[in-house]
Chains A and B, each alone.
Chain A
Amino acid sequence: MAVARHWRNQDQRYNLAGTRCKVCGGHFFPKTSMCPSCHRRSLGKLERFQFSGNGTISSFTIIHEGMPQYSSQVPYVIAYIDLEEGDHIIGQIVDSEPSEVEIGKKVEMVFRKLSEEGRSGTIQYGFKFRLTP
């Protein structure tokens, strides 16, 4: 079951694919079937939209006791990010020390391993972020 669930999310996880409302021009992540502003008027007027992956940290927390799969990465940072095109996203900040992460800093999307189903199961990949050089 897990394999199919992860497979269905590939486009949004690999490519940061969300939705654009052709009525109001709003961008949404993850994909939505109805624009939260235009409601019924947006039906049939939504299209796939790929975010650039660029954004700004608006809040963050440092995880010291993470999930078992992330034990080799603690302490790590989970941040709330304002995406350049609109909407917000929660993601891990990698490739920097937690002390380097600050609210207001720019980030860019990177492609990383998210999790794996044990030693013999599938590997899940998707977006994380790092501070823009």
Chain B
Amino acid sequence: MGKALGVEAKSVPAPDEDAATISVMAARRALARSSIDPGEIGAIFVGSESHPYAVKPTATIVSAAIGATPVMTGADLEFACKAGTAGFQSCLGLVNSDDGQIPIRCALAIGADTSQGAPGNALEYSASAGGVAFIVGREDVIAEVGLTMSYTTDTPDFWRREGMKYPSHAERFTGVPAYFKHVEMGARQIMERMGTKASDYDYAVFHQPNGKFPLKISKSLGFNREQILAGLWTPRIGNTYSASMMMGLAGILDVARPGEKILAVSYGSGAGSDGFHLEVTDLISEYPRSKAPLVSEAAANGIEIDYATYSKFRKKLKMEGE
């Protein structure tokens, strides 16, 4: 199954980790690389399909844990695997608005998940855990967003009903009318509006539900393997859901140089895609990457566990007293 999906390994959260703890760690690492006072952060959006509470924001936990409270706003977002980039877009809107109307100069967009797949289901091979945080602002920018556009339809390819532990998916239906259509349209409308073609980009990253879909979509859009390799992480850590495309983008920013162009397209079942055209600025040369682990370092820092331990960690086994 792992070979069929193109996934060699997946990350698993420890028993004391959830989307909130992962969000906090991602936010703290983002701040470690920045000179921003947490009190300057005016908004925090946390995108996830595995928020620990049904009612009570993950965003407030993150806010308190990084010292951003109280003069700020925050919210939890849900749109399957693209909730993190929906938050990214919301941050862009806020920080680029008129100062007099919305005085927010800096915001935090987080995508984090500890997703589950039912035992034996194909999703169990790929659903993993991870988180990424981007600081969005107008000063000291290392990558400028030139354009962001979304493509959204009502397509029921993957869902989880209220109260259900595991999600369901529509088997092969999740491919062509869902992932491929939305990612392709999301990418094409960005390139059309920007007047760019695949060869104009140094890097491209697409949502990675498995290791094969991003390879297939990138090929059909005209991108070669070299352009997507830096952002391709699902084969090594699984599908981190809301963090998936953002993880790829973070991996690209770990190696990107001034002037390079990036096309990034997320995908969320249900369904929609968020596309971004980014250009790396000269400030990336001074960006203190070493103050937090690179994606490659974090991905290499794992401990291999067996299925019994995995089952215990993910509460698939009922323990004594439960």
Contacts and interface: CB of A to CB of B under 8 A. Distances in A.
B303 A95 contact: yes
B119 interface: no
Contacts of A114: 16
B91 to A, nearest CB: 22
A123 interface: yes
A111 B25 contact: yes
A32 interface: no
Interface string B50-66: 00110010000100110
Contacts of B24: 111, 125
Given A72-B315, A72-B319, 9 more contacts: A14-B64, A71-B319, A73-B15, A73-B16, A95-B303, A113-B17, A113-B21, A125-B24, A128-B16
B30 to A, nearest CB: 14
A72 B312 contact: yes
A45 interface: no
Nearest to A133: B301
Interface residues of B, number: 26
Interface in A20-68: 50, 68
Which residue among B16, B25, B303, B312 has the maximum number of chain A CB atoms within 10 Å of its CB?
B16
Interface string B1-42: 000000000000011111011001100100000000000000
21 contacts: A10-B64, A14-B65, A72-B312, A72-B319, A73-B15, A94-B14, A94-B16, A97-B303, A111-B21, A111-B24, A111-B25, A112-B16, A113-B17, A113-B18, A113-B21, A122-B56, A123-B53, A125-B20, A125-B21, A125-B65, A133-B293
B320 interface: yes
B20 A72 contact: no
B132 to A, nearest CB: 16
Interface of A: 10-11, 14-15, 50, 68, 71-73, 94-97, 110-114, 122-123, 125, 128, 133
Contacts of A14: 64-65
B16 A15 contact: no
Nearest to B28: A111
Nearest to B293: A133
A112 B17 CA distance: 6
A95 B65 contact: no
B213 interface: no
A84 B143 CA distance: 35
Contacts of B61: 125
Which residue among A14, A72, A97, A133 has the maximum number of chain B CB atoms within 10 Å of its CB?
A72
A95 B293 CA distance: 16
A122 B315 CA distance: 18
